[in-house]
């Protein structure tokens, strides 16, 4: 697909202009979502143990929407970008936030993308986008494929709809949890794409326009995990959340004339039509500082909304799909013991843009001392 294809044409190809989100409770949405918590209330650690550096920083690179097709002439820029960013930043962790593949063979393509990180010995995790499972591999097969790549920090596969997980970052001594990453899956699809449409024969005809939403089970999983961590440690850990499709609050925030945003806004927010309450749950639990999404290729901004930063990663992808801004990657630099982090965007030409600090770059005066 040409990178000159419009968002509308892309959505038409994806079935979303006439499409519907998967209804909660359907098999594709999944039930009983998430990682089983340990009896102590802390998520179990899988794979390499993550910890802050001796200088009190922990660097994350977010890659999103690579839309990789093996052998496609539009992919060399992406295949060059990812290793160059990793070499430049030398991150402690890489987060892939979905739509990594865009055709069959999906498992092979996914592994090729993930191995760009694994080959450098960097731990990583992966969550689904709305396109990953449209081809010759369903979500369980993709999840299991990611587990086969060295360096993943994802828990073992526990079944459909049970693939959300939390990743612990320990203090610089490696002795105690210091921060948390909530990684949440997209359990829907583009159900009006053929052949996915065939899987919905006989479903009730009440359709909801747009993309699938974070389910009630996922919100409950987050709340249970967050509360378990707080009770276990006696304090709230600073946290980030990663998922593919932006929440409705991204739309509310960017349309609010009193908010400050940094970055590029070149398309409308592609959020679900229904709001299942994840943002409210995060605000109530007071741990998540920021969320990071992908999905909208021509957006890469960050905007503060009720003390939670709603941010996009920069599209890292291929010329197999629409993109009208230079491809790149978001970098996030956490600070041990602080509800504060820096971020910037690395572009494919080696330049760095849009450096900012949460929360100070987004507020007019001193940060609210009661928000801890």
pLDDT, tens digit (0-9, with 9 covering 90-100), for 347-361: 999 999 999 999 999
> Does residue 1 sit within a domain?
no
pLDDT above 90 covers a percentage of the chain that reads 78
> Does residue 141 sit within a domain?
yes
- Pair 140, 105: CB distance under 8 Å: no
Element (H, E) at 76: helix 76-89
Interval 31-41: pLDDT, tens: 344 444 454 58
- Compute the average pLDDT of residues 92-119: 98
> Does residue 300 sit within a domain?
yes
Residue 92 is given by DSSP the state: S
Q: Is the pLDDT of residue 151 over 60?
A: yes
- Of the ranges 4-18, 193-207, 262-276, which one carries the lowest mean pLDDT score? 193-207
> Does residue 277 sit within a domain?
yes
> Does residue 369 sit within a domain?
no
Q: What pLDDT does 69 receive? A: 97
- Compute the average pLDDT of residues 110-123: 98
pLDDT above 70 covers a percentage of the chain that reads 82
Measure the CA–CA gap between 216 and 33, rounded to whole angstroms.
9
> Does residue 42 sit within a domain?
yes
Q: Is the pLDDT of residue 218 over 50?
A: yes
Kindly indicate the confidence band of residue 188, based on its pLDDT and cuts at 50, 70 and 90.
Answer: confident
- Compute the average pLDDT of residues 209-223: 92
Interval 40-80: pLDDT, tens: 589 999 999 999 999 999 999 999 999 999 999 999 999 99
Alpha carbon separation from 263 to 233, 256, 344, 349 (Å, rounded): 36, 16, 10, 18
- Compute the average pLDDT of residues 333-342: 98
Q: Is the pLDDT of residue 132 over 50?
A: yes
Number of domains in the chain: 1
Q: What pLDDT does 156 receive? A: 97
Q: Is the pLDDT of residue 277 over 50?
A: yes
Q: What pLDDT does 210 receive? A: 79
Q: What does the block give as tokens for 38?
A: 């340990």
> Does residue 367 sit within a domain?
no
Q: What is the pTM of this model?
A: 0.86
- Pair 96, 67: CB distance under 8 Å: no
| Mean of per-residue pLDDT scores for the chain | 87
Q: What pLDDT does 209 receive? A: 75
Residue 357 belongs to domain spanning = 7-362
Measure the CA–CA gap between 291 and 262, rounded to whole angstroms.
15
Measure the CA–CA gap between 223 and 218, rounded to whole angstroms.
9
**Strand positions, DSSP E, the chain:** 20-21, 50-51, 57-63, 93-96, 124-126, 165-170, 177-183, 208-209, 239-242, 261-262, 288-293, 302-305, 308-312, 328-335, 341-347, 352-358
The CATH number of whichever domain residue 74 belongs to comes to 3.60.21.10
Element (H, E) at 80: helix 76-89
> Does residue 2 sit within a domain?
no
Q: At what angle do helices 216-233 and 278-285 cross, to 10 degrees?
A: 10
* CA angle 132–138–144, rounded 5-degree value: 95
Bridge-partner residues for 333, per DSSP? 59, 342
Output phi, psi for 3, to 5 deg: -75, 0
Q: What pLDDT does 189 receive? A: 62
Q: What is the DSSP string of 208-277?
A: EESPPPPPHHHHHHHHHHHHHHHHHHTSPPPEEEE-SSPPHHHHHHHH-TT--EES-B-S-----SS--S
- Pair 221, 279: CB distance under 8 Å: no
Kindly indicate the confidence band of residue 190, based on its pLDDT and cuts at 50, 70 and 90.
Answer: low
Q: Is the pLDDT of residue 18 over 50?
A: no
Q: What pLDDT does 75 receive? A: 97
187: left (phi over 0), alpha (psi -120 to 50) or beta: alpha
């Amino acid at each position: 697909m040409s990178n000159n294809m419009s968002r509308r044409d892309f959505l038409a190809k994806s079935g979303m202009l006439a499409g519907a989100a998967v209804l909660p409770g359907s098999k594709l949405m999944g039930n009983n979502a998430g990682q089983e918590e340990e009896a102590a209330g802390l998520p179990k650690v899988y794979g390499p143990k993550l910890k802050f550096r001796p200088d009190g920083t922990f660097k994350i690179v977010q890659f999103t929407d690579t839309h990789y097709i093996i052998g496609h002439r539009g992919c060399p820029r992406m295949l060059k970008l990812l290793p160059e960013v990793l070499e430049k930043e030398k991150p402690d962790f890489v987060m892939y936030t979905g739509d990594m593949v865009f055709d069959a063979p999906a498992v092979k393509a996914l592994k090729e993308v993930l191995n760009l990180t694994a080959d450098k010995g960097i731990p990583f995790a992966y969550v689904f986008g709305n396109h990953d499972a449209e081809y010759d591999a369903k979500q369980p097969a993709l999840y299991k494929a990611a587990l086969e790549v060295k360096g993943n920090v994802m828990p073992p596969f526990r079944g459909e709809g049970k693939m959300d997980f939390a990743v612990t970052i320990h203090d610089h001594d490696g002795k105690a949890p210091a921060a948390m990453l909530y990684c949440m899956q997209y359990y829907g699809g583009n159900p009006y794409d053929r052949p996915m449409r065939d899987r919905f024969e006989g479903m009730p005809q009440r359709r909801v326009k747009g993309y699938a939403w974070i389910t009630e089970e996922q919100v409950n999983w987050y709340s249970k995990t967050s509360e378990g961590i707080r009770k276990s440690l006696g304090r709230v850990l600073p946290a980030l959340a990663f998922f593919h499709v932006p929440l409705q609050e991204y739309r509310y925030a960017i349309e609010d004339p009193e908010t400050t945003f940094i970055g590029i806004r070149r398309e409308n927010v592609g959020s679900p039509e229904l709001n299942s309450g994840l943002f409210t749950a995060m605000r109530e639990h007071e741990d998540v500082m920021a969320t990071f999404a992908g999905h909208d290729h021509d957006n890469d901004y960050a905007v503060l909304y009720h003390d939670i930063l709603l941010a996009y990663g920069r599209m890292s992808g291929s010329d197999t799909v629409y993109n009208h801004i230079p491809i790149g990657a978001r970098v996030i630099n956490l600070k041990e013991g602080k509800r504060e982090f820096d971020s910037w965007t690395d572009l494919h030409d080696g330049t760095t843009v849009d450096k900012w600090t949460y929360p100070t770059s987004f507020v007019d005066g001193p940060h609210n001392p009661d928000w801890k």
